[in-house]
Amino acid sequence: MKYLTTFVTTLLLIALTACQPNHEMERPPQDEKEWSIALHGGAGYVSKDMPEDRKQAYMESLEEALAIGAEILENGGSALDAIEKTVNYLEDNELFNAGKGAVFTAEGKNELDAAIMDGTTLNAGAITGVTTVKNPISLARKVMTESEHVFFSAAGAETFADQVDVERVDPSYFYTERRYESLQRALEQEEEESFNMIQTDEEKAWKYGTVGAVAKDKDGNLAAATSTGGMTNKKFGRVGDVPIIGSGTYANDLVAVSATGWGEKIMLNVSAHTLASYMQFKNATLQQSMDYLVDDVLEPGDAGFIAVDKYGNFSMKTNTGSMFRAATDSDGNKEVGIWE
């Protein structure tokens, strides 16, 4: 009798649970774009009083980077090719904190991180702490396609670079006077034991600087890529969110995400994967998922994100005040901007 009562109770609980209303969101039917791409060049705070010529330089660079990726996708190229070439351009442009424009560590070096992920295969490649690779995102892709591993660091990443076809440079290639001066100011403030450094508006922006791109191609494949020089005056061995798969970079068959901002906060919230999981398990739209991450999970001033979903929708959002960003799709939708 005891077992019969338990069995009946269990059946009743199952029946009652089945009758409960489903509180998941209902993702509405959506028109699918043939292709879509979004990119970012760093999030932080940039004053709207930025000199007009410098603002124009940023806007033109964002436009050019976007055109590179869009042309590849329009011509039937892969999402991986589109994001790699887009990020290559940003890495070669010293306006941005990646590659040529990388900031300096506390030791006076330029140490570069990058990651790339294929949403179709869930394979990824990441590197951290390289100093002689001209385009770190290309090395990250080689890790994904030409090794059995996902992540190489520092000397190991350099050794792997010796074994594959990537362009190498002398570390002095990454030197820019503007970034070096930023380090000197940071060191001076540190000597004065001032934790909250007095920074110019531009330096505030690059405190959280990173570049990245996400895309969907005509075959429906999604991919994400992110590359960075890290934080000015970062300490020995510090690794940020960018090369941590699921934190600063993530892609699956539903969405591709790239982050920029305060790496520690992005990592602690496994941010890129959090957006993807919310979208999947809550049956939410891309914008609902982006809003949840930026507004509910993270604190104001923490980060910004770009994402593209399987329908070709794109979303770009930050809670830092500004984010260099651009996006377009096969339907002609386009957005290029800096401020919210």
Report the SS3 class of residue 192.
coil
CA distances to 7, 10, 208 from 3, rounded to whole Å, are: 6, 11, 61
> What is the sign, positive or negative, of the torsion defined by CA atoms of 188, 194, 200, 202?
positive
CA 192 to chain centre: 34
- Contact status, residue 128 vs residue 247, Cβ threshold 8 Å: no
Element (H, E) at 226: strand 222-228
Element (H, E) at 108: none
3-state secondary structure 34-51: CCEEEEEEEEECCCCCCC
**Cβ neighbours, 10 Å, residue 69:** 30
CA distance 310 to 32: 8
CA distance 144 to 54: 36
CA distance 255 to 269: 18
Q: Is there a catalytic annotation at residue 228?
A: no
List all residues 6 or more positions away from 98 whose beta carbon is below 8 Å from its beta carbon.
87, 90, 91, 112, 114, 136, 209, 210, 211, 227, 228, 229
CA distance 197 to 254: 40
Residues in the chain: 340
- Contact status, residue 232 vs residue 183, Cβ threshold 8 Å: yes
- Token pair belonging to 145: 């396609």
DSSP state for residue 96 in the 8-state scheme: S
Strand bridging mode 222-228 / 249-251: unpaired
Q: Which of 86, 105, 128, 210 is catalytic?
A: 210
Residue 233 phi, psi (nearest 5): 70, 25
CA 76 to chain centre: 24
Instruction: Give catalytic residues, as residue numbers.
Output: 210
